[in-house]
Chains A and B, each alone.
Chain A
Amino acid sequence: MRLLKTTLAVATAAASLATATTAMANTTVEFWTFRPQEEALWNRVNQENLIPGVTVNFNRISNDDYEARLRIALQRGGPDIFSGKVGAQWLAQFIAADAIVSMEELGVDLSNILPGALAGGQAADGQFYGVPFAVQLQSIIYNTDAFESLGLAHPTNIDEFEALLRAADAAGMEGLAVAGQAGWYLNQVFNEVIMAGLVADADQQAFVDGTKCFTDPVFVSALERVASWGPYMSANPTATNYDPMRTAVASGDALMMIDGAWSTGPASPMYEINPDFYPGFMAVPGVNGKVVAHPDGAYLANARSEKLDAVRQVLEFTTTETFGQLFLEEVTEPTAVQGEFVVENDITNAVMAALANAASIEPFIQPALNADTPNYGELIAQQMQRLLAGNATAAEAAAAVQAGLNSWGYVGAANCR
């Protein structure tokens, strides 16, 4: 009888241990993102079991309805981890609803993240609510074959750049494809790259501080310059959306576009259009001549997740050099993690080299310009569309941006009335 009891006890203990071990090994965390390019990365993380005991279930949600679906899902529990978009304003709605947990509270150390990328997960109160994953290059992206066919050297100043536009036009190409129908593109990408090229960093900082107004000749002349490129842009930029813009450049119908380097990763649809497409990167060669280093959001933890230990494990992993290396290999975008990396992909190397020449400030994500409505991003999208459609002069567009910011008393309102 004793033997039977002992045997039963041992068997029960063994079964419990086995069950517990299995449970540990099978913790699956649901991960939602709007970034399809990360699928291979997370598949590899799972296949190589790089986060012991945790499997990350990758779910890609269309960017168009990402926020709507996320909100609905969070009502019922939602994903354990999800990609957040950049900007304190975007984070604020989730913080107000106690839907996300701060990294300090979760116990995730961010000291290994590039200081310039931390804004990707920083709230208006300065706290960090996510682990930034990438620093995106935003610059001019051109079709190298089309560029070589023109036989011109790389432009080193704005006159040579405009000569390039004219040469493309003469060769039957659009000089600069512009997705003027997409407001998010105009404010986050197009305007930022133009300003990083044509406006000195100190002036951009002064716009953010409110010591310089947007009606200043520096800003107005940058907009005038954009308007003057009209004949070399897409025929109707405000009727051109994001994908047709990329299609035009990939197919060689357009020489260049202003875009983020995410469009040049291996998962980009540009290679489906033209498998031989090879991108080149450059800044708008104005007085500043710099590109934009854009922190592209962060991985956020659902405060109501029942698997917060596993979530912590995953987020901690995303701060490691191992993850940074994988990110470079699989997503081929510059990682937000600090470290020494081996980059074998030529395009990624070119992106990282271009990032060395990034502007020191990105007004689009500055809380001082975006704390209330109408915010800077919204105003730029609308006024840039008016400018591109020929419905406003540069001075009128700049005045409308200034008036919009003044309406809610932004930092420069008193100085710029």
Chain B
Amino acid sequence: MSYKSLEKTQLWLMLLPGVILYAIFNFGPLVGLLYMSVHEWSGIGGMTFVGLDNFRLILLDDFYRAGFLKALWQNIYFFAIIITSLLVIGTFIALMLSFKVYGRKQYQILYFLPYPLAGAAVAYLMMLIFDTNGPVNSTLLSWGWIDRPVNFMGSEDITLMMYAFFMSWYRMGFAIVMILAAIVAVRTDLVEAAFLDGAKRWQAIRHIVFPVLMPAFVVVFIIILVDTFNNADFTLLISEAQAGPNRSTDILGSYLYRSAFGAGPQDLALGYGVASVIGLLTAIIIAPVAALGAMRNIKK
């Protein structure tokens, strides 16, 4: 065997474990999702081939299309709050933690602490704190700032926002760690040189610091994008599958769950076929954004 062939074989052998794992855990389920999306299946008994009927139901039926678009729009709103909080507040905290100040390590641990918690624990904590009779409402009432308890957990206007804020707090540790790691890579000699050359503070941040931080921002953006468009922990745990009140906390993850498993005797499942369609549409919506971000990082 020539050296070139040997090199090629070695490369293939090294790639093989990753390819096999990817095929089993990513590609296989994706093909399964495609297969299931053209079938009607309630999860029991056999599957019936229905062609594009499931896609037609979600995209062309007035009732289901309205439900899907509402969940999609609310998901974008939910994601926008979280990613803005993580990038703005996360960068600020990471910058603060990058300075050599007393107690820096303790603060790092403190900020990272919520991240390993289970979603259910965080949801329970939120319910305790913002319950109608919880400490926040009690305090506001005792200070005379409100006449009636604020409906944090059951309002069409603010409950999804509350979930987004708590999700931001929950994921903040992850964003801080990523951004902090990037800050460490900023070359201080370049910043100092820029100042000596007459650069203003904002110019130094914009042209030297941000380009170094950008890959970390992209990673945070992609991971949070995929997370918030595929999961609906808080909605399912607090508002339950009905995503009330009046579907105001419905996002794509809860819409998919409700389609697959239903939300009670009169809010029945639409079947795994329809749920697969929602999963595929979600992937189609977020995949290009995630791929573009990833490509940008690879180019760097």
Q: Which residues of A contact B (CB under 8 A)?
A: 64-65, 67-68, 71-72, 74-75, 85-87, 89-90, 93-94, 96-99, 180-184, 187-188, 234-240, 364, 370, 373-378, 381-383, 385-386, 388-389, 391, 404, 407-408
Provide 11 A-B residue pairs closer than 8 Å at the C-beta atoms, listed in order of the A residue.
Answer: A71-B43, A75-B44, A87-B265, A183-B240, A183-B263, A236-B153, A239-B155, A373-B64, A383-B246, A385-B244, A404-B63
Complex CA gap A378/B159 in Å reads 20
Beyond A98-B45, A181-B245: 10 further Cβ-contacts under 8 Å?
A: A74-B44, A87-B266, A183-B244, A184-B242, A184-B263, A187-B266, A239-B152, A377-B266, A378-B267, A383-B246
The answer to whether A182 and B266 touch across the interface, beta carbons within 8 angstroms, is no
The answer to whether B151 and A389 touch across the interface, beta carbons within 8 angstroms, is yes
Q: Which residues of B contact A (CB under 8 A)?
A: 42-46, 62-64, 131-133, 148-156, 159, 239-240, 242, 244-247, 261-269
**B265 CB contacts on chain A under 8 angstroms:** 85-87, 89-90, 184, 188, 377
Most chain B Cβ neighbours within 10 Å, of A85, A89, A234, A385: A385
**B159 CB contacts on chain A under 8 angstroms:** 239
The answer to whether B266 and A238 touch across the interface, beta carbons within 8 angstroms, is no
The answer to whether A239 and B153 touch across the interface, beta carbons within 8 angstroms, is yes
The answer to whether B266 and A364 touch across the interface, beta carbons within 8 angstroms, is yes
Are A235 and B148 also in contact (CB < 8 A) when A188-B265, A386-B246 are? yes
The answer to whether B244 and A382 touch across the interface, beta carbons within 8 angstroms, is yes
**B266 CB contacts on chain A under 8 angstroms:** 87, 89, 184, 187-188, 364, 370, 375-378, 381
**B64 CB contacts on chain A under 8 angstroms:** 373
Complex CA gap A388/B156 in Å reads 11
Most chain A Cβ neighbours within 10 Å, of B154, B245, B266, B267: B266
The answer to whether A237 and B154 touch across the interface, beta carbons within 8 angstroms, is yes
The answer to whether B44 and A99 touch across the interface, beta carbons within 8 angstroms, is yes
The answer to whether A183 and B149 touch across the interface, beta carbons within 8 angstroms, is no
**B239 CB contacts on chain A under 8 angstroms:** 181
The answer to whether B154 and A67 touch across the interface, beta carbons within 8 angstroms, is no
**A404 CB contacts on chain B under 8 angstroms:** 63
Complex CA gap A52/B149 in Å reads 58
Are A374 and B154 also in contact (CB < 8 A) when A93-B42, A235-B132 are? no
Complex CA gap A187/B64 in Å reads 20
**A385 CB contacts on chain B under 8 angstroms:** 244-246
Complex CA gap A72/B43 in Å reads 7
Interchain nearest-CB distance for A130 vs B (Å) = 14
Interchain nearest-CB distance for B193 vs A (Å) = 57
The answer to whether A386 and B245 touch across the interface, beta carbons within 8 angstroms, is yes
The answer to whether A377 and B156 touch across the interface, beta carbons within 8 angstroms, is no
Interchain nearest-CB distance for B65 vs A (Å) = 12
**A98 CB contacts on chain B under 8 angstroms:** 45
Interchain nearest-CB distance for A172 vs B (Å) = 14
Interchain nearest-CB distance for A184 vs B (Å) = 4
Complex CA gap A75/B242 in Å reads 26
Interface of B is mostly: loop
Contact residue among B46, B154, B261, B267 (Cβ-Cβ distance under 8 Å from A238): B154
Complex CA gap A81/B65 in Å reads 37
Complex CA gap A350/B264 in Å reads 29
Top 10 nearest A-B pairs by Cβ distance? A377-B266, A239-B154, A97-B45, A238-B154, A71-B43, A385-B245, A183-B242, A236-B151, A184-B264, A97-B44
**A181 CB contacts on chain B under 8 angstroms:** 153-154, 239-240, 244-245
Nearest-CB residue, chain A, relative to B159: A239
Nearest-CB residue, chain A, relative to B45: A97
**B245 CB contacts on chain A under 8 angstroms:** 180-181, 238, 382, 385-386, 388-389, 391
The answer to whether A239 and B131 touch across the interface, beta carbons within 8 angstroms, is yes
Nearest-CB residue, chain A, relative to B266: A377
The answer to whether A238 and B151 touch across the interface, beta carbons within 8 angstroms, is yes
**B151 CB contacts on chain A under 8 angstroms:** 236, 238-239, 389
**A68 CB contacts on chain B under 8 angstroms:** 261
**A188 CB contacts on chain B under 8 angstroms:** 265-266
Are A382 and B247 also in contact (CB < 8 A) when A184-B265, A389-B156 are? yes
**B133 CB contacts on chain A under 8 angstroms:** 235
The answer to whether A67 and B261 touch across the interface, beta carbons within 8 angstroms, is yes
**B132 CB contacts on chain A under 8 angstroms:** 234-236, 239-240
The answer to whether A373 and B131 touch across the interface, beta carbons within 8 angstroms, is no
**A74 CB contacts on chain B under 8 angstroms:** 43-44
The answer to whether A71 and B152 touch across the interface, beta carbons within 8 angstroms, is no
Interchain nearest-CB distance for A31 vs B (Å) = 18
Interchain nearest-CB distance for B299 vs A (Å) = 43
Complex CA gap A376/B149 in Å reads 31
**B268 CB contacts on chain A under 8 angstroms:** 89-90, 93
Complex CA gap A71/B132 in Å reads 36
Interchain nearest-CB distance for A302 vs B (Å) = 10
**A65 CB contacts on chain B under 8 angstroms:** 261
Nearest-CB residue, chain B, relative to A375: B266
Nearest-CB residue, chain B, relative to A185: B264
Complex CA gap A87/B265 in Å reads 7
Contact residue among B156, B262, B264 (Cβ-Cβ distance under 8 Å from A386): B156
Interchain nearest-CB distance for B283 vs A (Å) = 22
**A237 CB contacts on chain B under 8 angstroms:** 154
Complex CA gap A269/B232 in Å reads 29
The answer to whether A374 and B63 touch across the interface, beta carbons within 8 angstroms, is yes
Interchain nearest-CB distance for A79 vs B (Å) = 13
**B261 CB contacts on chain A under 8 angstroms:** 65, 67-68, 71
**B46 CB contacts on chain A under 8 angstroms:** 97
Interchain nearest-CB distance for A86 vs B (Å) = 6
Nearest-CB residue, chain A, relative to B243: A183
Contact residue among A71, A89, A180, A383 (Cβ-Cβ distance under 8 Å from B154): A180
Complex CA gap A174/B184 in Å reads 57
Interchain nearest-CB distance for B49 vs A (Å) = 15
**A94 CB contacts on chain B under 8 angstroms:** 44
Interchain nearest-CB distance for A367 vs B (Å) = 12
Complex CA gap A87/B264 in Å reads 11
**A382 CB contacts on chain B under 8 angstroms:** 244-247
Complex CA gap A72/B261 in Å reads 11
**B153 CB contacts on chain A under 8 angstroms:** 181, 236, 239
The answer to whether B45 and A99 touch across the interface, beta carbons within 8 angstroms, is yes
The answer to whether A389 and B155 touch across the interface, beta carbons within 8 angstroms, is yes
